Structure 1
Amino acid sequence: MPDKINLDKIIPELSKDNEEPLEELFNYYYPRLYNFSRSILKIEDGIDDILQEVFVKIWQNRDGIKNTATFNSYIFTITRNLLLNELRSRLNKQSTKEEISKLSVAPEYSLMEQIEYTDLKEKVDHIVNELPQRQKEIFILSRTEGLSHKEIAEKLKISTKTVEYHIALAVRFLKDELKGFGLVSLLYFYLFF
């Protein structure tokens, strides 16, 4: 695992359809992204597939990657969005809810947690529906569909600053509305926001 990487040299080479720089990026970032992914998913199953998709996206968007100073943030944002999509998918499956519950909560609290989770999810869905139409649309594209700010801006033909503004307002509104839900709402926000 390389300790350092020269992004100023590697990134320009990517746009020349040269696969060697992608391999260098993979060797450098894979272990870091793996640990990051594991800290979010808590289980290893599926991480390899997600990370493979990260590097496929890097390759597909290689012509648009110009700023080496923000590349680290860029690759971790792609990973985070894919992880959130995976978490949302898994949380819709009862077996995964039980697996996460076993990892994070003592058995005597698991039934109470399931009830609180269901209540919280219903509350969040209700709050999201109360958002102004444009804000709701942007929030859902970001949090449910996992689109980046740039992708949302392009899709809706608005600026990325407008997207950031609406998401910040939506998240603040949700946090304010969920204050009374305590620890479970913190867990929900850790997973989704």
Structure 2
Amino acid sequence: MPQQDKFNNITEKEKAPHELTPLSKVEDTTDSAQVLALDDEYFIRRAFERAPTEGCELLFKHYHRGLCNHAVRFVYSKQIAEDLVSDVFCRFWKNKSYETVKSSYRHYLYRSVRNEAMSYLRAEFKDMESIENAANTEGVASYEPDYITQFEEISKRLKELVEALPPQCRKAFLMSRFEGKKYQVIATELSLSVKTVEAHISLALQRIKKGLQGYV
């Protein structure tokens, strides 16, 4: 069975669409949530002991939604966020990471998605040096409060930059990047020409790129 299919074996009901929003909370860090997370980790590890496919499917069902919400806060695109999370799961399966993860699966996956999102942003905005350094951080440092705070600050800055865009520019950008709509569809819905939509999105990317340069 192809790698991707290992995780696409979830029923449509189990994968019922959930709204992804850049304002979604990343993780619940209350004591009760941490206790529940430990219980979940126990059952997931037991599933892996029975069969890797069973463990991976349970892991996917349990964390997929939260990871997508996590990623979309950085990349401002529902489709890209879902693609990044799928890539993380596929590598997890292909590399048999379930055999080597000593920390919790939750921490491993959230760290991997953060790094994947930052790698995407680094490619999108090539001279974001501070993000590049963050994306290359490995191991236990990824769990340190300062590391998490840095991503929260970047997420907050992205939100500020998007909200500061001119109204039509912001609409076009979010429709393209978050809703995944094509330029022609956006042009029709906003009563604009395709070239105007292209100009709006180009302006949005330029302003976001400039606003994130050297940002820590």
Q: What is the TM-score with the length of structure 2 in the denominator?
A: 0.42
